[in-house]
Amino acid sequence: MRAFRDGGGHHQCLGRGTFEKELVQDVLEIITVFSARLYGSRSRSIRDIMKQLKEAADAICPENASGGHPQGSTAEQHQRRPLRP
């Protein structure tokens, strides 16, 4: 970094590439914030749709409304199995 005086004021030259680096960082931060908002709003709308679908399914078939599993099955039978190595 070099400093010089110009017209009584003090200026610093931050070096070549610093402006570009800061600009890239700022643009990436903006993209990150907006994509987080976008995916967050999508996530909420998907949860709302899933809730509405579950309510509609419960209204059509009330015997499955309590556990959400087909008759005669248990939650343990529907758990995900670990992936094999």
Gap between the Cα atoms of 28 and 65, Å rounded: 45
Model confidence at 79: pLDDT above 70? no
User: β-strands 9-13, 2-6: how paired?
Assistant: antiparallel
Length of the chain: 85
pLDDT tens digits along 11-50: 455 556 799 999 999 999 999 999 888 888 888 888 899 9
Angle (CA) 69 55 47, round 5°: 90
Gyration radius of the chain's alpha carbons: 28
